[in-house]
Amino acid sequence: MDDSRVMRAWLRTVISGDPRLEVVGEAEDAVHARDFLMAHPADVLTLDIEMPGMSGLDFLTRLMRARPMPVVMMSSLTAAGSDAAIQALSRGAIDCMVKPSKSFGEELTADICERVYHAACTRPSQLQTRLQASGVAASIPAAQARNAAPCRNGSIILIGASTGGVAALETVLPALDPDGPPVVIVQHMPGNFLVSFSERLNRQMHQRVYLANEETPLSRGDIVLAPGNDRHTQLLRRGGIWGVKFAPNDPPALHCPAVNMLFSSAVGEAKHVTAALLTGLGQDGAEGLLALAEAGASTFGQDEGTCVIYGMPRAAKAIGAVQRELALDKIGHAVKESAAKRGRMKR
């Protein structure tokens, strides 16, 4: 569904070129899309966010009420588009991609096909879990102003997530202690989307949520997202105080920021670390989680039944990096308990 005839033609060519995928129809607006989906079965829908008449976001909301199905959103990188993309992911969309403007290279086309294919493979039970999770954040009280002191000699929580991570994080984070150890997150997402996501979480959470920077020491109750600045976010600990530093993406990694880079940077302080790997496509985070586990950290993975895409947690489990595999609604509490226990350990 896209109001641009050029974009629809390009997407049709790209998707039809993958032997796993078949385009069964297209629509230029909400009316045509509704009529088509009522008459024809489809496994997945690509949906433009910014459209005349009924926006893609409004259409998604109505679709999820009437006929829940996997949806991949197509968004521009404008501030408005990024904010709408985060809303879409929170309302049940499986994934959100940056709408191409000029460059239509092979890497982009392969990425689109991979995301559409994996979205189509989402099981009904996983989609239902996602829809239930989409209402969690709305009930969280807004963040309260507070005087935060740097977290000295305490534990820390690290989380990695990719596809499906927005809804997963909005389920896990509310279960954490509002005045607990700092949380550092790598969520695979374009930089503008991360800005919108951090602002959304900060409005909804008790904790202070912001994008990581090298000048700010981490305080209790902080939730920090690695920014999409073409640099990796890593941890450091000086004088017992946690902070972050940035590392260049050299040689270029598949994901930047990468979960592996965050996890690996904390191996030297593993006894203070609780780490969790949530839903996502690929293997990022598996090796870093294994290194943490072997060094004495407490490690968790999201189970297959509640993952939108059981890729990253599966890869970590396969190499023995996951000490406890739990359903999404159990992870937050378990991580909170683990971090509290490590905070009481002899430092």
| Sign of the CA dihedral with 27 first, then 33, 39, and 40 last | positive
List the catalytic residue out of 82, 118, 188, 255. Answer: 188
Q: Contact, 173 vs 212, CB < 8 A?
A: no
Nearest to 280 by CA among 204, 185, 197: 185
45-48 and 273-277: which strand pairing?
Answer: unpaired
The reply to whether 58 belongs to the active site is no
Paired with 46 in beta bridges are 72
Handedness of CA 51, 54, 57, 63 (dihedral sign): negative
Residue 37 CB: number of other CB atoms within 10 A?
A: 18
**Out of 2, 83, 177, 284, which one is annotated catalytic?**
284
Phi, psi angle pair for 331, to nearest 5° = -65, -45
3 is catalytic: no
First to last CA, the chain: 56
Catalytic residue status for 162: yes
How far is 177 from 183, CA to CA, in rounded Å? 10
Bridge partner residues of 238 (DSSP): 241
Q: Are strands 231-238 and 241-248 parallel, antiparallel or unpaired?
A: antiparallel
Catalytic residue among 75, 76, 155, 162: 162
Residues 334 and 316: their CA atoms lie apart, in Å, by: 18
In order of 72, 92, 188, 209, 307, the CA distances from 166 in angstroms are 14, 10, 10, 14, 12
- Enzyme catalytic residues: 162, 188, 284
